[in-house]
Amino acid sequence: MNIKCTQNIYKSANGVSNVTYYILVPEGVEVRGIVQLSHGMCEYFSRYTAFAKYLCGLGFIVCGNDHIGHGASVSRTADLGFFAARDGWKYLVEDVKHLTDLMQRRYPDLPYFLLGHSMGSLIARLYLLDYGEKLSGCILIGTVGPIAASGSIVHLADSVARSRGITYRSGLLSNLVFKGFNRKIKQPKTVFDWLSRDEAVVSLYQSDEKCNFVFTATGFRDLFTLITKANNPVTFRKTPKELPLLFISGDKDPVGRYGEGVRRTVNLYRGNGVKNIEVIFYKDARHEVLNELDRLETFGDISRWLETHLAARAARQAVEQEPETAAE
Q: What is the model's pLDDT at position 328? A: 46
E-only strand ranges, the chain: 2-11, 18-27, 33-38, 60-65, 112-117, 137-141, 245-250, 277-282
- Note the pLDDT tens digit of each residue in 293-313: 999 999 999 999 999 999 888
Task: Look up the CATH number of domain 2-327.
Answer: 3.40.50.1820
CA distances from 57 to 3, 48, 53, 204 (A): 9, 14, 6, 25
Between helix 119-131 and helix 88-106 the angle, nearest 10°, is 70
The structure's pTM equals 0.96
- Listing DSSP states for 18-69 in one string gives EEEEEEEEEESS---EEEEEE--TT--GGGGHHHHHHHHHTTEEEEEEPPTT
Q: Is the dihedral of CA 33, 306, 73, 96 positive or negative?
A: positive
pLDDT at 262 over 90: yes
What's the pLDDT band for 318 if we cut at 50, 70, 90?
Answer: confident
Average pLDDT score over residue span 111-116: 99
Say yes or no to pLDDT of 327 above 60. Answer: no
pLDDT, tens digit (0-9, with 9 covering 90-100), for 65-99: 999 999 999 999 999 999 999 999 999 999 999 99
pLDDT for res 322: 76
Do residues 22 and 71 lie in contact, with contact meaning Cβ atoms separated by under 8 Å? no
Average pLDDT, the chain: 96
Per-residue pLDDT tens over the stretch 129-149: 999 999 999 999 999 999 999
**Of 74, 73, 77, 34, nearest in space to 56 by CA:** 34
Residue-wise pLDDT for 16-29, tens only, equals: 999 999 999 999 99
Burial 191-207 (b: 16+ CB within 10 A, else e): ebbbbbbbeebbeebee
Residue 323's pLDDT is: 66
User: Which pLDDT tens digit goes with each residue over 161-213?
Assistant: 999 999 999 999 999 999 999 999 999 999 999 999 999 999 999 999 999 99
